[in-house]
């Protein structure tokens, strides 16, 4: 799936969006059947960098107050967007910021909570590759 020139590593995002549309907008029920959608990522791409993960992470996507939320608790990450794709893009951007500002920071400058996030980030990322062509 490509959003703003970025190809997301999820092969099932387009099928997921169709399912979301069918369940949320085609249902005659007063409340949607789906409350959360779990999706998996084995790498995260943002702004020319690929973060290859040690293992697949499972993130939650859900609609709340008219915005899509993309949540991954181990990184203390909650991102938003008007569409599932834009919420996922926001998650990738937030991950990149966390990597550069928390995972790369000296331990002495971090709070205890930030150290937990740093350890989660360092444990999750196998390699970081710069130079990814986001227009592919």
Percent of the chain whose predicted confidence (pLDDT) is above 70: 71
How confident is the model at residue 6, as a pLDDT?
43
- Tens digit of each residue's pLDDT (9 = 90 or more) over 4-47: 444 444 545 555 555 555 555 554 555 554 578 888 999 999 99
Asked if residue 24 is part of any domain, the answer here is yes
**Beta carbons of 76 and 50 less than 8 angstroms apart:** no
How confident is the model at residue 35, as a pLDDT?
73
In three-state secondary structure terms, 60 is strand
Asked if residue 136 is part of any domain, the answer here is no
The pair phi, psi for residue 102, each rounded to 5°, is -110, -55
Asked if residue 135 is part of any domain, the answer here is no
Please, what is the end-to-end C-alpha distance for the chain in angstroms? 11
Domain hosting residue 120, numbered range: 2-130
The total domain count for the chain is: 1
Asked if residue 55 is part of any domain, the answer here is yes
With a threshold of 0.75, does the pTM exceed it?
no
Asked if residue 70 is part of any domain, the answer here is yes
Asked if residue 25 is part of any domain, the answer here is yes
Measured distance CA(117)–CA(130) in Å, rounded: 22
- Tens digit of each residue's pLDDT (9 = 90 or more) over 75-117: 889 999 999 999 999 999 999 999 999 999 999 999 999 999 9
Asked if residue 57 is part of any domain, the answer here is yes
């Amino acid at each position: 799936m490509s959003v703003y020139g970025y190809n997301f590593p999820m092969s099932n995002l387009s099928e997921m969006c169709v399912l979301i549309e069918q369940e949320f907008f085609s249902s005659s029920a007063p409340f949607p059947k789906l409350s959360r959608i779990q999706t998996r990522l084995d790498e995260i791409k943002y702004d020319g960098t690929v973060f290859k993960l040690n293992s697949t992470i499972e993130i939650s996507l859900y609609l709340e107050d008219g915005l899509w939320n993309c949540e991954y608790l181990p990184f203390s990450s909650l991102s938003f967007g008007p569409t599932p794709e834009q919420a996922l893009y926001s998650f990738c951007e937030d991950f990149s910021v966390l990597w550069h500002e928390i995972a790369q920071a000296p331990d002495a400058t971090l709070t205890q909570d930030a150290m937990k996030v740093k350890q989660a980030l360092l444990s999750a990322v196998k390699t970081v590759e710069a130079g990814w062509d986001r227009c592919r």
